[in-house]
Amino acid sequence: MSFMKKIGILNGPNLNWLGKREPEIYGHTTLADLERGLADYAANLGNCEIECFQSNHEGALIDKIYDWAERGFEGIVFNPGAFTHTSIALRDALAGAGIATVEVHISNVHAREEFRHRSLTAPVCRGQICGLGLKGYAYALEALANQRPEVSE
Ligand code: DQA
């Protein structure tokens, strides 16, 4: 039996284009670079291993959440992209699967257009990090890796 916590890094629509997409908002780092950096970060934490998945399709993201639930994942770092603001189905999947999830946004969604201010997914997450750039993923990963289920922080 492994004592490593399994944590999923889940990225939603348009995040495959990270590094090329609106770099003035999202920066120049690619998704592959981000995922490599997070794998190194997890190795340094020493108590978790990550699996990464990105899709532009709502159903594929939902399927992955249940796949990770069945495989005993203990955390998800999730940037749902624009589905944050629209997807009741993703919210239901997160609530149904019951994996501790931290929602991450690279940009400060509250400083942007009104339609980005509401998150349908955040209420079923442990917390939300936004506006801290790509570092937000690492902070979320560390929080999930060090969470103790018996303590409600
Ligand atoms: C985003 C913010 C969303 O509003 C947007 O649709 C994205 C990226 C972010 O990481 O800042 O695709 O989730």
Query: What is the reported pLDDT for 74?
Result: 97
Average pLDDT over residues 67-83: 98
Domain residue spans in the chain? 5-145
* pLDDT more than 70, % of the chain: 95
Average pLDDT over residues 45-70: 98
Average pLDDT over residues 80-86: 98
Å from CA of 70 to ligand 1 middle = 28
Which burial class, exposed, middle or buried, applies to 94 when counting CB atoms under 10 A from its CB (0-12, 13-18, 19+)? buried
The overall average pLDDT reported for the chain is 95
Domain 5-145 has CATH 2.60.40.1080: no
Residue 28 known to be catalytic: no
* Best of 9, 17, 79 for a ligand 1 pocket test (most atoms within 8 Å of beta carbon): 79
Query: What is the reported pLDDT for 64?
Result: 98
Question: What atom of ligand 1 comes closest to residue 112's alpha carbon?
Answer: 4
Question: What atom of ligand 1 comes closest to residue 25's alpha carbon?
Answer: 11
pLDDT 10s digits, 108-131: 999 999 999 999 999 999 999 999
The protein residue with its alpha carbon nearest to ligand 1, atom 6, reads 82
Which burial class, exposed, middle or buried, applies to 31 when counting CB atoms under 10 A from its CB (0-12, 13-18, 19+)? middle
Alpha helix segments (H runs only) across the chain: 23-26, 31-45, 58-70, 88-97, 135-145
Judge if the beta carbon of residue 56 lies within 6 A of ligand 1: no
pLDDT reading at 58 higher than 80: yes
Å from CA of 3 to ligand 1 middle = 33
Average pLDDT over residues 15-41: 97
DSSP bridge partners of 102: 77, 127
pLDDT 10s digits, 12-24: 999 999 999 999 9
The protein residue with its alpha carbon nearest to ligand 1, atom 9, reads 105
The CA distance from 16 to 55, in Å, is 8
pLDDT reading at 28 higher than 60: yes
Neighbours of 63 (CB within 10 A): 14
Q: Is the Cβ–Cβ distance between 9 and 75 less than 8 Å?
A: no
